[in-house]
Structure 1
Protein backbone atom coordinates (compact mmCIF):
# COMPACT_ATOMS: atom_id res chain seq x y z
CA UNK A 1 0.00 0.00 0.00
CA UNK A 2 2.81 2.39 0.87
CA UNK A 3 4.49 1.55 -2.43
CA UNK A 4 1.31 2.41 -4.28
CA UNK A 5 1.10 5.74 -2.46
CA UNK A 6 4.73 6.49 -3.32
CA UNK A 7 4.15 5.79 -6.99
CA UNK A 8 0.90 7.82 -6.90
CA UNK A 9 2.75 10.72 -5.34
CA UNK A 10 5.50 10.54 -7.95
CA UNK A 11 2.94 10.42 -10.74
CA UNK A 12 1.15 13.47 -9.31
CA UNK A 13 4.42 15.37 -8.98
CA UNK A 14 5.37 14.47 -12.57
CA UNK A 15 1.98 15.67 -13.80
CA UNK A 16 2.35 18.99 -12.00
CA UNK A 17 5.88 19.43 -13.38
CA UNK A 18 4.65 18.57 -16.89
CA UNK A 19 1.82 21.08 -16.69
CA UNK A 20 4.17 23.72 -15.32
CA UNK A 21 6.62 23.07 -18.14
CA UNK A 22 3.88 23.31 -20.74
CA UNK A 23 2.58 26.53 -19.21
CA UNK A 24 6.02 28.11 -19.07
CA UNK A 25 6.45 27.47 -22.78
CA UNK A 26 3.59 29.83 -23.62
CA UNK A 27 4.77 33.41 -24.07
CA UNK A 28 2.64 35.95 -22.23
CA UNK A 29 0.98 38.48 -24.49
CA UNK A 30 2.25 41.89 -23.37
CA UNK A 31 1.69 43.61 -26.73
CA UNK A 32 -0.79 46.12 -25.33
CA UNK A 33 0.76 46.56 -21.89
CA UNK A 34 4.23 47.25 -23.28
CA UNK A 35 2.96 50.13 -25.42
CA UNK A 36 0.86 51.62 -22.64
CA UNK A 37 3.70 51.32 -20.13
CA UNK A 38 6.11 53.27 -22.33
CA UNK A 39 3.40 55.74 -23.32
CA UNK A 40 4.31 55.77 -27.00
CA UNK A 41 3.04 53.94 -30.09
CA UNK A 42 5.77 53.76 -32.75
CA UNK A 43 4.27 53.43 -36.23
CA UNK A 44 6.34 52.32 -39.23
CA UNK A 45 5.32 53.76 -42.59
CA UNK A 46 6.59 54.78 -46.00
CA UNK A 47 5.26 58.32 -46.60
CA UNK A 48 5.06 58.04 -50.38
CA UNK A 49 1.50 56.72 -50.72
CA UNK A 50 -0.71 59.75 -51.09
CA UNK A 51 -3.47 59.93 -50.00
CA UNK A 52 -2.66 57.33 -47.32
CA UNK A 53 0.68 58.74 -46.16
CA UNK A 54 2.75 61.52 -47.65
CA UNK A 55 4.65 64.62 -46.62
CA UNK A 56 3.18 68.12 -46.64
CA UNK A 57 4.00 71.48 -45.12
CA UNK A 58 1.86 72.01 -42.02
CA UNK A 59 2.37 75.37 -40.32
CA UNK A 60 5.67 75.66 -42.15
CA UNK A 61 6.90 72.27 -40.94
CA UNK A 62 7.50 69.16 -43.07
CA UNK A 63 4.91 66.72 -41.70
CA UNK A 64 3.71 63.20 -42.50
CA UNK A 65 -0.03 63.35 -43.21
CA UNK A 66 -2.69 61.15 -44.80
CA UNK A 67 -5.52 58.72 -44.11
CA UNK A 68 -3.25 56.14 -42.48
CA UNK A 69 -1.85 58.84 -40.21
CA UNK A 70 -5.36 59.69 -39.02
CA UNK A 71 -6.10 56.01 -38.36
CA UNK A 72 -2.85 55.66 -36.40
CA UNK A 73 -3.70 58.74 -34.33
CA UNK A 74 -7.13 57.27 -33.55
CA UNK A 75 -5.44 54.06 -32.37
CA UNK A 76 -3.06 56.06 -30.18
CA UNK A 77 -6.00 57.92 -28.65
CA UNK A 78 -7.76 54.63 -27.85
CA UNK A 79 -4.61 53.29 -26.19
CA UNK A 80 -4.03 56.55 -24.33
CA UNK A 81 -0.51 57.03 -25.71
CA UNK A 82 1.43 59.42 -27.94
CA UNK A 83 2.00 58.39 -31.56
CA UNK A 84 5.45 58.48 -33.12
CA UNK A 85 5.82 57.98 -36.87
CA UNK A 86 8.94 56.27 -38.17
CA UNK A 87 9.60 56.94 -41.85
CA UNK A 88 11.35 54.27 -43.97
CA UNK A 89 11.30 52.55 -47.37
CA UNK A 90 8.32 50.25 -47.89
CA UNK A 91 10.41 47.06 -48.03
CA UNK A 92 11.61 47.82 -44.47
CA UNK A 93 8.20 48.63 -42.99
CA UNK A 94 7.22 45.08 -42.02
CA UNK A 95 10.79 44.12 -41.08
CA UNK A 96 10.76 46.87 -38.46
CA UNK A 97 8.15 44.89 -36.52
CA UNK A 98 10.39 41.85 -36.28
CA UNK A 99 13.37 43.93 -35.20
CA UNK A 100 11.33 45.69 -32.52
CA UNK A 101 11.89 49.14 -34.02
CA UNK A 102 8.13 49.67 -34.42
CA UNK A 103 5.01 48.55 -32.55
CA UNK A 104 2.71 48.53 -35.58
CA UNK A 105 3.02 49.14 -39.31
CA UNK A 106 0.38 51.01 -41.27
CA UNK A 107 1.34 51.95 -44.80
CA UNK A 108 -1.21 50.69 -47.29
CA UNK A 109 -0.21 47.14 -46.34
CA UNK A 110 -2.13 44.28 -47.92
CA UNK A 111 -2.83 41.41 -45.51
CA UNK A 112 -1.78 38.45 -47.67
CA UNK A 113 -1.83 34.84 -46.48
CA UNK A 114 1.96 34.68 -46.72
CA UNK A 115 2.42 37.78 -44.59
CA UNK A 116 -0.12 36.48 -42.07
CA UNK A 117 2.21 33.56 -41.34
CA UNK A 118 4.74 36.02 -39.93
CA UNK A 119 2.63 38.95 -38.68
CA UNK A 120 -0.73 39.59 -37.06
CA UNK A 121 -3.16 41.80 -38.98
CA UNK A 122 -6.13 43.88 -37.92
CA UNK A 123 -9.47 43.76 -39.63
CA UNK A 124 -9.21 45.41 -43.06
CA UNK A 125 -9.91 49.13 -43.22
CA UNK A 126 -9.77 49.79 -46.98
CA UNK A 127 -10.31 47.73 -50.12
CA UNK A 128 -7.57 48.38 -52.65
CA UNK A 129 -8.05 48.49 -56.44
CA UNK A 130 -4.96 48.34 -58.64
CA UNK A 131 -4.59 50.33 -61.87
CA UNK A 132 -1.95 51.05 -64.49
CA UNK A 133 -0.57 54.51 -65.22
CA UNK A 134 0.77 55.22 -68.72
CA UNK A 135 1.62 58.33 -70.67
CA UNK A 136 -1.53 60.05 -71.89
CA UNK A 137 -0.21 59.79 -75.44
CA UNK A 138 -0.10 55.98 -75.05
CA UNK A 139 -3.67 55.48 -73.81
CA UNK A 140 -4.86 53.97 -77.10
CA UNK A 141 -1.87 51.66 -77.14
CA UNK A 142 -2.68 49.98 -73.81
CA UNK A 143 -6.29 48.86 -73.53
CA UNK A 144 -5.88 45.29 -72.24
CA UNK A 145 -3.41 43.30 -70.15
CA UNK A 146 -2.21 41.56 -73.30
CA UNK A 147 -0.97 44.89 -74.68
CA UNK A 148 1.81 44.98 -72.10
CA UNK A 149 3.71 42.06 -73.60
CA UNK A 150 7.36 43.14 -73.96
CA UNK A 151 6.54 46.44 -72.21
CA UNK A 152 8.57 47.66 -69.25
CA UNK A 153 6.37 48.06 -66.15
CA UNK A 154 7.57 49.65 -62.90
CA UNK A 155 6.32 48.60 -59.45
CA UNK A 156 7.47 49.35 -55.94
CA UNK A 157 9.72 46.71 -54.44
CA UNK A 158 8.07 44.47 -51.85
CA UNK A 159 4.50 45.52 -52.67
CA UNK A 160 1.44 43.59 -53.80
CA UNK A 161 1.60 45.55 -57.07
CA UNK A 162 4.90 43.84 -57.83
CA UNK A 163 3.14 40.46 -57.75
CA UNK A 164 0.08 41.81 -59.61
CA UNK A 165 2.24 43.02 -62.50
CA UNK A 166 4.08 39.72 -62.75
CA UNK A 167 0.91 37.63 -62.55
CA UNK A 168 -1.48 39.67 -64.70
CA UNK A 169 0.65 41.58 -67.21
CA UNK A 170 1.99 38.50 -68.95
CA UNK A 171 5.12 38.99 -70.99
CA UNK A 172 5.91 42.37 -69.44
CA UNK A 173 9.31 43.18 -68.02
CA UNK A 174 8.69 44.14 -64.38
CA UNK A 175 11.11 46.68 -62.96
CA UNK A 176 11.06 46.85 -59.14
CA UNK A 177 12.07 50.23 -57.72
CA UNK A 178 12.22 51.53 -54.14
CA UNK A 179 10.63 54.98 -54.40
CA UNK A 180 7.27 55.93 -55.92
CA UNK A 181 8.65 59.23 -57.18
CA UNK A 182 11.41 57.36 -58.99
CA UNK A 183 8.81 55.20 -60.74
CA UNK A 184 6.89 58.25 -61.97
CA UNK A 185 10.09 59.92 -63.18
CA UNK A 186 11.06 56.75 -65.07
CA UNK A 187 7.66 56.75 -66.77
CA UNK A 188 7.79 60.44 -67.67
CA UNK A 189 11.28 60.02 -69.16
CA UNK A 190 10.21 56.89 -71.11
CA UNK A 191 12.56 54.59 -69.18
CA UNK A 192 9.50 52.43 -68.46
CA UNK A 193 6.19 52.15 -70.32
CA UNK A 194 3.83 51.90 -67.35
CA UNK A 195 3.51 51.89 -63.55
CA UNK A 196 1.16 49.80 -61.39
CA UNK A 197 -0.34 51.62 -58.39
CA UNK A 198 -3.31 51.46 -56.04
CA UNK A 199 -6.10 53.60 -57.53
CA UNK A 200 -6.14 56.47 -54.98
CA UNK A 201 -2.36 56.83 -55.24
CA UNK A 202 -2.49 56.68 -59.03
CA UNK A 203 -5.22 59.35 -59.12
CA UNK A 204 -3.10 61.65 -56.97
CA UNK A 205 -0.10 61.35 -59.30
CA UNK A 206 -2.18 61.75 -62.45
CA UNK A 207 -3.84 64.87 -61.02
CA UNK A 208 -0.40 66.45 -60.64
CA UNK A 209 0.99 65.28 -64.00
CA UNK A 210 -0.98 66.33 -67.09
CA UNK A 211 1.04 64.03 -69.36
CA UNK A 212 0.00 60.88 -67.46
CA UNK A 213 -3.29 58.96 -67.36
CA UNK A 214 -4.84 55.79 -65.94
CA UNK A 215 -5.14 53.12 -68.63
CA UNK A 216 -8.50 51.47 -69.26
CA UNK A 217 -7.07 48.11 -68.23
CA UNK A 218 -8.88 45.98 -65.68
CA UNK A 219 -6.66 44.25 -63.13
CA UNK A 220 -8.23 41.50 -61.06
CA UNK A 221 -8.58 42.06 -57.31
CA UNK A 222 -8.33 39.48 -54.53
CA UNK A 223 -8.93 39.23 -50.78
CA UNK A 224 -5.27 40.11 -50.24
CA UNK A 225 -5.86 43.58 -51.73
CA UNK A 226 -7.41 44.81 -48.48
CA UNK A 227 -5.34 47.16 -46.32
CA UNK A 228 -4.80 46.30 -42.66
CA UNK A 229 -2.62 47.27 -39.70
CA UNK A 230 0.31 44.90 -39.18
CA UNK A 231 1.61 43.83 -35.76
CA UNK A 232 4.20 41.39 -34.44
CA UNK A 233 2.94 37.81 -34.27
CA UNK A 234 1.12 37.07 -31.02
CA UNK A 235 -0.26 40.60 -30.48
CA UNK A 236 -3.73 39.38 -29.47
CA UNK A 237 -4.52 42.09 -26.91
CA UNK A 238 -3.25 44.87 -29.16
CA UNK A 239 -5.18 43.53 -32.17
CA UNK A 240 -8.42 43.53 -30.15
CA UNK A 241 -8.03 47.23 -29.39
CA UNK A 242 -7.06 48.13 -32.95
CA UNK A 243 -9.96 46.16 -34.42
CA UNK A 244 -12.32 48.11 -32.14
CA UNK A 245 -10.97 51.42 -33.46
CA UNK A 246 -11.17 50.33 -37.10
CA UNK A 247 -14.74 49.10 -36.74
CA UNK A 248 -15.80 52.41 -35.21
CA UNK A 249 -14.04 54.43 -37.93
CA UNK A 250 -15.55 52.33 -40.73
CA UNK A 251 -19.06 52.32 -39.28
CA UNK A 252 -19.01 56.10 -38.87
CA UNK A 253 -17.69 56.68 -42.39
CA UNK A 254 -14.61 58.45 -41.04
CA UNK A 255 -12.10 56.34 -42.97
CA UNK A 256 -13.70 57.28 -46.30
CA UNK A 257 -13.59 60.90 -45.17
CA UNK A 258 -9.91 60.56 -44.16
CA UNK A 259 -9.10 59.27 -47.65
CA UNK A 260 -11.07 62.03 -49.41
CA UNK A 261 -9.58 64.82 -47.27
CA UNK A 262 -6.06 63.49 -47.77
CA UNK A 263 -6.63 63.16 -51.50
CA UNK A 264 -7.79 66.78 -51.70
CA UNK A 265 -4.67 67.85 -49.80
CA UNK A 266 -2.36 65.74 -51.97
CA UNK A 267 -3.55 67.29 -55.22
CA UNK A 268 -3.55 70.85 -53.88
CA UNK A 269 0.19 71.12 -54.41
CA UNK A 270 1.44 69.53 -51.20
CA UNK A 271 4.47 67.32 -51.57
Structure 2
Protein backbone atom coordinates (compact mmCIF):
# COMPACT_ATOMS: atom_id res chain seq x y z
CA UNK A 1 0.00 0.00 0.00
CA UNK A 2 2.85 2.39 0.87
CA UNK A 3 4.45 1.80 -2.55
CA UNK A 4 1.13 2.45 -4.29
CA UNK A 5 0.61 5.71 -2.41
CA UNK A 6 4.18 6.87 -3.08
CA UNK A 7 3.82 5.93 -6.74
CA UNK A 8 0.61 7.91 -7.00
CA UNK A 9 2.25 10.94 -5.37
CA UNK A 10 5.22 10.71 -7.77
CA UNK A 11 2.93 10.46 -10.79
CA UNK A 12 0.88 13.42 -9.56
CA UNK A 13 4.11 15.42 -9.13
CA UNK A 14 5.16 14.69 -12.72
CA UNK A 15 1.83 15.86 -14.14
CA UNK A 16 1.81 18.90 -11.84
CA UNK A 17 5.26 19.90 -13.06
CA UNK A 18 4.22 19.30 -16.66
CA UNK A 19 1.13 21.47 -16.16
CA UNK A 20 3.14 24.29 -14.57
CA UNK A 21 5.73 24.08 -17.33
CA UNK A 22 3.01 24.09 -19.96
CA UNK A 23 1.55 27.41 -18.77
CA UNK A 24 4.98 29.02 -18.51
CA UNK A 25 5.96 28.09 -22.08
CA UNK A 26 3.15 29.87 -23.91
CA UNK A 27 5.41 32.87 -24.54
CA UNK A 28 8.59 30.89 -25.19
CA UNK A 29 8.99 32.23 -28.72
CA UNK A 30 8.62 35.81 -27.49
CA UNK A 31 11.27 35.14 -24.82
CA UNK A 32 13.65 33.70 -27.43
CA UNK A 33 13.18 36.73 -29.67
CA UNK A 34 13.68 39.09 -26.71
CA UNK A 35 16.99 37.52 -25.68
CA UNK A 36 18.04 37.29 -29.34
CA UNK A 37 19.23 33.70 -29.00
CA UNK A 38 17.85 30.22 -29.70
CA UNK A 39 19.46 27.49 -27.57
CA UNK A 40 19.21 24.05 -29.19
CA UNK A 41 20.19 20.82 -27.41
CA UNK A 42 22.19 18.37 -29.56
CA UNK A 43 24.23 15.20 -29.11
CA UNK A 44 26.95 15.61 -31.77
CA UNK A 45 27.92 11.98 -32.35
CA UNK A 46 25.36 11.03 -34.97
CA UNK A 47 26.68 11.86 -38.44
CA UNK A 48 25.29 13.07 -40.78
CA UNK A 49 22.58 14.52 -38.51
CA UNK A 50 24.87 16.12 -35.92
CA UNK A 51 28.57 15.52 -35.36
CA UNK A 52 31.88 17.26 -34.81
CA UNK A 53 34.18 17.91 -37.75
CA UNK A 54 37.23 20.01 -38.53
CA UNK A 55 36.07 23.07 -40.46
CA UNK A 56 38.82 25.55 -41.38
CA UNK A 57 40.98 23.87 -38.76
CA UNK A 58 38.38 24.32 -36.00
CA UNK A 59 36.43 21.63 -34.11
CA UNK A 60 32.86 22.48 -35.20
CA UNK A 61 29.42 20.93 -34.67
CA UNK A 62 27.92 20.33 -38.12
CA UNK A 63 25.22 18.20 -39.73
CA UNK A 64 21.79 18.20 -41.33
CA UNK A 65 20.03 18.87 -38.02
CA UNK A 66 22.32 21.82 -37.39
CA UNK A 67 21.30 23.32 -40.73
CA UNK A 68 17.66 22.84 -39.71
CA UNK A 69 18.33 24.56 -36.38
CA UNK A 70 19.98 27.46 -38.22
CA UNK A 71 16.97 27.80 -40.54
CA UNK A 72 14.68 28.03 -37.50
CA UNK A 73 16.93 30.61 -35.84
CA UNK A 74 16.93 32.63 -39.08
CA UNK A 75 13.13 32.53 -39.20
CA UNK A 76 13.05 33.84 -35.62
CA UNK A 77 15.67 36.47 -36.44
CA UNK A 78 18.00 35.36 -33.63
CA UNK A 79 21.43 33.81 -33.16
CA UNK A 80 21.79 30.05 -32.87
CA UNK A 81 23.52 28.59 -29.81
CA UNK A 82 24.17 24.84 -29.68
CA UNK A 83 24.19 23.10 -26.31
CA UNK A 84 26.16 19.85 -26.63
CA UNK A 85 25.34 16.91 -24.31
CA UNK A 86 24.83 13.14 -24.15
CA UNK A 87 21.80 11.93 -26.10
CA UNK A 88 19.95 10.67 -23.02
CA UNK A 89 20.05 14.23 -21.59
CA UNK A 90 18.79 16.02 -24.70
CA UNK A 91 15.06 15.85 -23.92
CA UNK A 92 15.42 16.47 -20.17
CA UNK A 93 17.29 19.71 -20.95
CA UNK A 94 13.95 21.13 -22.11
CA UNK A 95 12.40 20.53 -18.70
CA UNK A 96 15.31 22.09 -16.83
CA UNK A 97 15.33 25.15 -19.08
CA UNK A 98 18.86 24.52 -20.35
CA UNK A 99 17.59 24.54 -23.95
CA UNK A 100 14.67 26.03 -25.88
CA UNK A 101 14.34 23.06 -28.21
CA UNK A 102 16.02 19.76 -29.04
CA UNK A 103 17.05 18.75 -32.56
CA UNK A 104 19.11 15.60 -32.32
CA UNK A 105 17.75 12.83 -34.53
CA UNK A 106 14.75 12.59 -32.21
CA UNK A 107 11.67 10.58 -33.08
CA UNK A 108 8.11 11.24 -31.94
CA UNK A 109 6.54 8.70 -29.57
CA UNK A 110 3.21 8.83 -27.74
CA UNK A 111 4.98 8.65 -24.37
CA UNK A 112 7.33 11.50 -25.23
CA UNK A 113 4.41 13.59 -26.50
CA UNK A 114 2.86 13.48 -23.02
CA UNK A 115 5.78 15.54 -21.73
CA UNK A 116 7.02 17.48 -24.78
CA UNK A 117 5.64 19.21 -27.85
CA UNK A 118 6.80 17.90 -31.23
CA UNK A 119 6.93 19.49 -34.65
CA UNK A 120 5.73 17.90 -37.86
CA UNK A 121 8.19 15.21 -39.05
CA UNK A 122 11.10 16.43 -41.16
CA UNK A 123 12.75 13.10 -42.05
CA UNK A 124 11.48 9.52 -42.31
CA UNK A 125 13.64 6.98 -40.48
CA UNK A 126 15.59 4.32 -42.41
CA UNK A 127 17.08 1.50 -40.37
CA UNK A 128 20.40 -0.28 -40.93
CA UNK A 129 22.62 -2.84 -39.21
CA UNK A 130 26.41 -2.61 -39.27
CA UNK A 131 28.68 -5.63 -38.90
CA UNK A 132 32.36 -6.30 -39.51
CA UNK A 133 33.06 -6.66 -43.23
CA UNK A 134 34.54 -10.11 -42.63
CA UNK A 135 31.24 -11.25 -41.06
CA UNK A 136 28.79 -9.79 -43.57
CA UNK A 137 27.90 -13.24 -44.97
CA UNK A 138 27.62 -14.79 -41.50
CA UNK A 139 25.31 -12.19 -39.97
CA UNK A 140 22.73 -11.93 -42.75
CA UNK A 141 19.46 -12.01 -40.78
CA UNK A 142 17.95 -11.24 -37.40
CA UNK A 143 18.10 -14.93 -36.57
CA UNK A 144 21.83 -15.14 -37.39
CA UNK A 145 22.51 -12.82 -34.45
CA UNK A 146 20.76 -15.04 -31.90
CA UNK A 147 22.89 -15.23 -28.78
CA UNK A 148 25.11 -12.39 -30.05
CA UNK A 149 25.49 -8.80 -28.81
CA UNK A 150 23.89 -5.92 -30.73
CA UNK A 151 24.81 -2.36 -29.69
CA UNK A 152 22.44 0.60 -29.86
CA UNK A 153 22.49 4.18 -28.64
CA UNK A 154 20.74 4.61 -25.29
CA UNK A 155 17.43 6.47 -25.52
CA UNK A 156 17.16 6.15 -29.30
CA UNK A 157 14.27 4.74 -31.34
CA UNK A 158 16.69 2.03 -32.50
CA UNK A 159 17.01 0.87 -28.90
CA UNK A 160 13.29 0.09 -28.83
CA UNK A 161 13.29 -1.47 -32.30
CA UNK A 162 16.21 -3.72 -31.38
CA UNK A 163 14.67 -4.89 -28.11
CA UNK A 164 11.44 -5.72 -29.95
CA UNK A 165 12.97 -7.46 -32.97
CA UNK A 166 16.32 -8.90 -31.79
CA UNK A 167 14.39 -11.10 -29.35
CA UNK A 168 17.12 -13.75 -29.07
CA UNK A 169 20.07 -11.33 -29.04
CA UNK A 170 21.66 -9.40 -26.19
CA UNK A 171 20.91 -5.72 -26.89
CA UNK A 172 23.61 -3.50 -25.37
CA UNK A 173 22.63 0.16 -24.81
CA UNK A 174 25.54 2.60 -24.91
CA UNK A 175 25.69 6.34 -24.30
CA UNK A 176 27.37 7.37 -27.57
CA UNK A 177 27.20 5.95 -31.08
CA UNK A 178 30.98 6.29 -31.41
CA UNK A 179 31.31 3.95 -28.43
CA UNK A 180 29.05 1.39 -30.15
CA UNK A 181 31.14 1.52 -33.32
CA UNK A 182 34.37 1.05 -31.35
CA UNK A 183 32.92 -1.98 -29.58
CA UNK A 184 31.95 -3.47 -32.94
CA UNK A 185 35.43 -2.92 -34.35
CA UNK A 186 37.04 -4.47 -31.26
CA UNK A 187 34.72 -7.49 -31.30
CA UNK A 188 32.93 -6.66 -28.03
CA UNK A 189 29.61 -6.67 -29.94
CA UNK A 190 28.76 -8.38 -33.22
CA UNK A 191 26.46 -5.73 -34.71
CA UNK A 192 25.24 -2.16 -34.30
CA UNK A 193 21.69 -1.10 -35.09
CA UNK A 194 21.33 2.52 -36.21
CA UNK A 195 19.90 4.77 -38.89
CA UNK A 196 20.99 4.24 -42.49
CA UNK A 197 22.44 7.74 -43.10
CA UNK A 198 24.39 7.42 -39.85
CA UNK A 199 25.62 3.96 -40.88
CA UNK A 200 26.76 5.30 -44.24
CA UNK A 201 28.72 8.03 -42.48
CA UNK A 202 30.64 5.46 -40.43
CA UNK A 203 31.16 3.24 -43.48
CA UNK A 204 32.88 6.14 -45.23
CA UNK A 205 35.44 6.23 -42.41
CA UNK A 206 35.80 2.50 -41.64
CA UNK A 207 36.60 0.11 -44.49
CA UNK A 208 36.54 -2.83 -42.05
CA UNK A 209 32.78 -2.39 -41.50
CA UNK A 210 29.89 -3.30 -43.80
CA UNK A 211 26.15 -2.82 -44.12
CA UNK A 212 24.26 -6.01 -43.30
CA UNK A 213 21.95 -7.39 -45.99
CA UNK A 214 18.91 -6.90 -43.70
CA UNK A 215 17.42 -4.12 -41.57
CA UNK A 216 14.81 -3.82 -38.85
CA UNK A 217 11.23 -2.81 -39.61
CA UNK A 218 10.30 0.74 -38.68
CA UNK A 219 6.81 2.04 -37.95
CA UNK A 220 4.97 4.78 -39.81
CA UNK A 221 5.54 7.13 -36.87
CA UNK A 222 9.31 6.59 -36.70
CA UNK A 223 10.19 9.96 -38.19
CA UNK A 224 12.49 12.74 -37.00
CA UNK A 225 10.89 15.74 -35.33
CA UNK A 226 11.88 18.82 -33.32
CA UNK A 227 11.09 18.61 -29.58
CA UNK A 228 10.04 21.62 -27.51
CA UNK A 229 8.77 22.19 -23.95
CA UNK A 230 5.11 21.31 -23.44
CA UNK A 231 2.81 24.21 -24.25
CA UNK A 232 5.07 25.92 -26.83
CA UNK A 233 2.16 26.50 -29.22
CA UNK A 234 3.41 29.59 -31.07
CA UNK A 235 6.95 28.21 -31.37
CA UNK A 236 5.64 24.87 -32.70
CA UNK A 237 3.77 26.71 -35.47
CA UNK A 238 6.91 28.63 -36.43
CA UNK A 239 9.02 25.46 -36.54
CA UNK A 240 6.37 23.72 -38.66
CA UNK A 241 6.41 26.65 -41.05
CA UNK A 242 10.17 26.25 -41.52
CA UNK A 243 9.88 22.48 -41.96
CA UNK A 244 7.11 22.90 -44.57
CA UNK A 245 9.26 25.34 -46.54
CA UNK A 246 12.31 23.04 -46.44
CA UNK A 247 10.15 20.08 -47.45
CA UNK A 248 8.70 21.96 -50.42
CA UNK A 249 12.23 22.78 -51.59
CA UNK A 250 13.52 19.27 -50.70
CA UNK A 251 16.28 21.03 -48.73
CA UNK A 252 16.75 18.57 -45.86
CA UNK A 253 18.04 15.92 -48.25
CA UNK A 254 20.51 18.51 -49.50
CA UNK A 255 21.56 19.11 -45.88
CA UNK A 256 22.25 15.37 -45.49
CA UNK A 257 24.25 15.25 -48.75
CA UNK A 258 26.38 18.22 -47.73
CA UNK A 259 26.94 16.84 -44.24
CA UNK A 260 28.01 13.48 -45.68
CA UNK A 261 30.90 15.25 -47.42
CA UNK A 262 32.24 16.30 -44.00
CA UNK A 263 32.20 12.84 -42.40
CA UNK A 264 35.77 12.28 -43.58
CA UNK A 265 36.89 15.07 -41.25
CA UNK A 266 34.71 13.96 -38.34
CA UNK A 267 36.20 14.31 -34.85
CA UNK A 268 35.52 11.58 -32.26
Would you say same fold, with TM above 0.5? yes
Residue 182 (structure 1) shift: 1.0
Give runs of ≥4 in structure 1 deviating > 2 Å.
268-271
- Equivalent position of 1:143 in the other structure: 140
- Equivalent position of 1:69 in the other structure: 66
Note if contact 1:113-1:224 (Cα within 8 Å) is conserved in structure 2: no
**Distance in 2, Cα, partners of 1:108 & 1:234:** 21
Asked if 1:122 is matched to 2:119, the reply is yes
Residue 189 (structure 1) shift: 0.7
- Equivalent position of 1:270 in the other structure: 266
Residue 117 (structure 1) shift: 1.0
Aligned match for 1:222, one of 200, 219, 223 = 219
- Equivalent position of 2:13 in the other structure: none
1:1-271 mapped onto 2 (5 Å cutoff)? 27=23, 29-266=26-263, 268-271=264-267
SS in 2 for 1:224: coil
Residues 235-270 of structure 1, C-alpha deviations (whole Å, 9 max, x = no match)? 00000000000100111011110011101211x333
Note if contact 2:54-2:265 (Cα within 8 Å) is conserved in structure 1: no
**Distance in 2, Cα, partners of 1:186 & 1:218:** 20
Residues 61-104 of structure 1, C-alpha deviations (whole Å, 9 max, x = no match)? 21101110110000000001111000000000000001000000
- Structure 2 spans left out of the alignment, 5+ residues: 1-21
TM-score (norm. length: structure 2):
0.89
| TM-align CA RMSD | 1.2
- Equivalent position of 2:9 in the other structure: none
Report the more deviating stretch, 90-99 or 214-223.
214-223
Residue 42 (structure 1) shift: 0.2
Residue 56 (structure 1) shift: 1.2
| CA gap 1:243/1:77 in 2 versus in 1, 3 angstroms | same
**Distance in 1, Cα, partners of 2:112 & 2:64:** 22
- Structure 1 spans left out of the alignment, 5+ residues: 1-25
SS in 2 for 1:191: coil
Note if contact 1:120-1:230 (Cα within 8 Å) is conserved in structure 2: yes
**Distance in 2, Cα, partners of 1:148 & 1:270:** 30
**Distance in 2, Cα, partners of 1:43 & 1:164:** 26
Residue 31 (structure 1) shift: 1.7
Residues 144-195 of structure 1, C-alpha deviations (whole Å, 9 max, x = no match)? 1111110101111111111111101121001111111111111111000100
Q: Select the structure of larger CA radius of gyration.
A: 1
Note if contact 1:142-1:217 (Cα within 8 Å) is conserved in structure 2: no
Note if contact 1:119-1:233 (Cα within 8 Å) is conserved in structure 2: yes
| Count of matched residue positions in the alignment of Structure 1 and Structure 2 | 245
